[in-house]
Amino acid sequence: MPRFISTVTSIGSHEARVLWGTSLRVARLFLSFKSVLVCVGILTLTILSTSGLPSTIAIRLENQQGAHPIFKVVGWDQIGQISTQSARFGMDQWQALFAVYVDSGSFEDALPPMLGSYRIEDEALIFQARFPLQPGLRYRAVFTSASEPIILRFEIPKSEAIVSTTVEHVYPSTDRLPENQLKFYLHFSAPMSRGEAYTRIHLLDERGEPVDFPFLELDEELWDREGKRLTLLFDPGRIKRGLVPYEEVGPSITEGENYALVIDRDWRDAQGSSLKQDFKKFFSVIAADRETPDPKSWLLNAPQAGSLQPLSVEFPEPLDHELLMRLLEIMDPQGNFVEGSIQVDRHETRWQFTPQEPWREGNYSLSVDTTLEDLAGNRVNRLFEVDVFERIEERITTTTVSLPFRILSE
């Protein structure tokens, strides 16, 4: 009679071993257990036949936490024969012999095998997964020899989530926004995951009721490369006069009302952890802004020569924070860019530039890219929406506007 022995020990790798005899009855018995061998450590399953010394087949998982984990079939007595044929194997033939599957979800039986590459090395059949294994997920390795399949299921332990990501800033920072406010910038302390932004961001009115579809929901969420800044546009159809959404349901936010922008803590960061806490920004709404920013109205405070004091530029209204960081430049008397750092504060109504080298006496200029926008998307050279009947706008076609200032000696 065959003996059926299983032992579990705990060391740092996975293995299922079958001492494989000639008894198909035993193999069927083995399969009748449906191979529910979820293991954390070594699981050894031994089947001894009644005749002679058994051959031993085992599935091992190596480099479990690596970028390309390895699943290895060892102890297969036909490996030499396969080795000579394997040069002609296509992926389908390899997978018919040995395949690894994700072992979760509602389509378990219809899931395709995982991507990876095959080879025979040191008398072992090796499948090297293309991608890392995911903590918390179950996998199933199936070795199908000439007789019966050997199946090993295992689970990658879930690592403890570190919850530390927060919303660091939301721009505009002011709590008074025009009715035709165009966008928010949300800055996070760590990279975030894509694909769930619009289910995690809510706009609530002063009764706490959610505003229906206030934002432009794009599949291509507008992140920066690091995944730490999201640009959130209000629905432009509810900003532009004359369009059906604006005429029928009105703007997303209404003058005189109060709102809260709410960011759910359930939003996952790129590591899969939720945010540390909810974030709320409260604001009230003022009249729509339908005027272009006018650099002539800006107040420049020039420092003295020889100092490293910042040049300060004050605006009569808040401007787009991110564009202020990029579209204003200081030019020296020779027309070269001046290197330095920028600070934007006072709710984006003040821009300051601190040079790397002390100011020198002479005529400098502030160069303004005319694509600079105010909170309502009105550019220096163009309103957000142009009334073509009234033609109230004089279009500026240049790409920059230059504001001269003089650095005087002490």
Partner 1 sequence: MSLNQSRMGLCALLMAVLFTTAAVSIDYSSSLKAGKAELQSAGPLAFGPDGILFVGDSVGAAIFALATEDTVSSSPGRIDISGINEKVAALLGTSADQILINDLAVNPASKRVYLSVSRGRGPDATPLIVRVDASGKIEEFSLDNVKHARVTLPNAPDPDAKDRRGQSLRMEAITDLAFVDDRVFIAGLSNEEFASKLHSIPFPFEKTGNGTSVEIYHGAHGRFETNAPVRTFVAYEIEKEPYILAAYTCTPLVIFPVSSLTAGAKVLGTTIAELGNRNRPLDMITYEKDGSRFILMNNSSRGVMKISAENLGSYEAITERTDIRGVSYETIDHLKGVQQLDRLDETNALILVSTDSGSLDLKTIALP
Which of residues 124 and 243 has its CB atom nearest to partner 1 in the complex?
243
Closest CB to partner 1 among residues 97, 129: 129
| HSE-up (13 A, CA, CB side) for residue 102 | 17
Q: Which is nearer to partner 1, 53 or 389 (CB)?
A: 389
Report in angstroms how near the CB of residue 212 gets to partner 1 at its nearest.
Answer: 8
Q: How far is the CB of 334 from partner 1 (least distance, A)?
A: 17
340-345 and 350-355 strand pairing: antiparallel
Question: Hey, what's the torsion of the CAs at 202, 165, 267, 278, to 10 degrees?
Answer: -40
157 preceded by a cis bond (ω within 30 of 0): no
Residue 98 has a CB neighbour count (10 Å cut-off) of 23
CA proximity to 378, closest of 312, 315, 329, 330? 315
Rounded to a whole number of angstroms, the minimum distance from the CB of residue 47 to partner 1 is: 30
Shortest separation between residue 282's beta carbon and partner 1, angstroms? 25
CB of 139 to partner 1, least distance (A): 8
Q: Which is nearer to partner 1, 77 or 168 (CB)?
A: 168
First to last CA, the chain: 104
Nearer Cβ to partner 1, position 228 or 350?
228
- Would you mind telling me the total number of residues written for the chain in this entry? 410
Q: What is the side-by-side order of every strand in the sheet holding 340-345?
A: 299-301, 311-314, 350-355, 340-345
**How far, in Å, CA of 134 to CA of 138, rounded?**
8
CB of 136 to partner 1, least distance (A): 8
Nearer to partner 1, 52 or 242 (CB): 242
